[in-house]
């Protein structure tokens, strides 16, 4: 999620500030390989279609900068924002705290309680949300002594370890949180499948 956020930021910064450096590199490349470049201040005319009235309304620089450079980056940003909107990023970021990094020794209880409150309000009663906080505190203590609970690399591993160690009964609310989060890949895969099918049908119709 940090990589996705960084990618969004870099693409947006490149869209706003990257044109000048890009066109400078293109000019150097063309000069080095003796490739002719159009006069960027001249009026743009299409080489693929018959001249149209609007061809005379923009310069080559405007066409390459706005219609190609900016438009392409906008499409990439739109795709990322569609697949990883702010809610999805927050949800996945909060859920990732259930899988401990080596430098951490405890689950971030506040993050998990916030995740449940924001995204699974109908799956937990108010009393269960209070109990979940106590279960997480106990789990953090036991996890230090039990490598079967702490030595996990994925949420699926955590879910499996809770079952094999019979801790899913003791920490049944934590087990419920993990199982709810594990439904995400199914939803994501379904969405991607629909998106791919729509693209295939569109290509076929064309």
Q: What is the pLDDT of residues 167-202, one digit of tens each?
A: 999 999 999 999 998 886 544 444 444 444 444 455
Whole-Å CA distances, 98 to 132, 133, 174:
13, 13, 10
Q: Please report, for the chain, how many H helices and E strands are present, in that order.
A: 12, 0
Predicted TM-score (pTM) of the model is 0.57
Nearest to 115 by CA among 177, 162, 159, 170: 177
What is the structure's pLDDT at 131? 96
Ramachandran angles phi, psi of 59, nearest 5°: -90, 170
What is the structure's pLDDT at 194? 43
The CA dihedral of 86, 91, 93, 95, to the nearest 10 degrees, is: 180
Q: Are 173 and 124 in contact (CB under 8 A)?
A: yes
Nearest to 73 by CA among 19, 154, 134, 144: 19
136 vs 110: CA distance, rounded Å: 10
What is the structure's pLDDT at 191? 43
Neighbouring residues of 123: CB distance < 8 A, sequence distance ≥ 6: 116, 176, 180
What is the structure's pLDDT at 190? 42
100 vs 106: CA distance, rounded Å: 7
The first and second tokens of residue 76, run together, are 């990439």
Residue spans of the chain under pLDDT 70: 47-56, 100-105, 184-206
Neighbouring residues of 152: CB distance < 8 A, sequence distance ≥ 6: 99, 100, 158, 161
Neighbouring residues of 171: CB distance < 8 A, sequence distance ≥ 6: 135, 138, 139, 162
The first and second tokens of residue 110, run together, are 């506040």
Other beta carbons less than 10 A from residue 113's beta carbon? 18
Nearest to 165 by CA among 185, 150, 182: 150
What is the structure's pLDDT at 193? 46
In DSSP terms, 59 is beta-bridged to 43
Q: Are 97 and 111 in contact (CB under 8 A)?
A: yes
């Amino acid at each position: 999620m940090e990589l996705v956020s960084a990618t969004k930021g870099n693409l947006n910064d490149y869209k706003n500030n990257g044109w000048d450096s890009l066109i400078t590199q293109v000019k150097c490349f063309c000069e080095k390989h003796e490739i002719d470049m159009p006069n960027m201040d001249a009026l743009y005319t299409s080489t693929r279609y018959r001249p149209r009235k609007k061809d005379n309304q923009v310069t080559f620089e405007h066409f390459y900068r706005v219609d190609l450079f900016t438009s392409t980056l906008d499409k990439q940003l739109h795709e990322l924002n569609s697949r990883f909107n702010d809610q999805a990023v927050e949800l996945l970021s909060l859920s990732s705290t259930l899988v401990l990094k080596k430098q951490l020794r405890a689950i971030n209880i506040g993050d998990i309680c916030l995740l449940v409150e924001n995204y699974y309000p109908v799956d937990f009663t108010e009393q269960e949300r209070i109990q979940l906080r106590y279960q997480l505190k106990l789990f953090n203590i036991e996890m230090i002594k039990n490598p079967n609970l702490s030595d996990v690399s994925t949420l699926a591993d955590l879910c499996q370890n809770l079952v094999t160690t019979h801790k899913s009964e003791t920490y049944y609310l934590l087990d419920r949180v993990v199982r709810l989060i594990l439904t995400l890949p199914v939803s994501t895969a379904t969405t991607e499948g629909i998106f791919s099918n729509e693209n295939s049908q569109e290509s076929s119709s064309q």
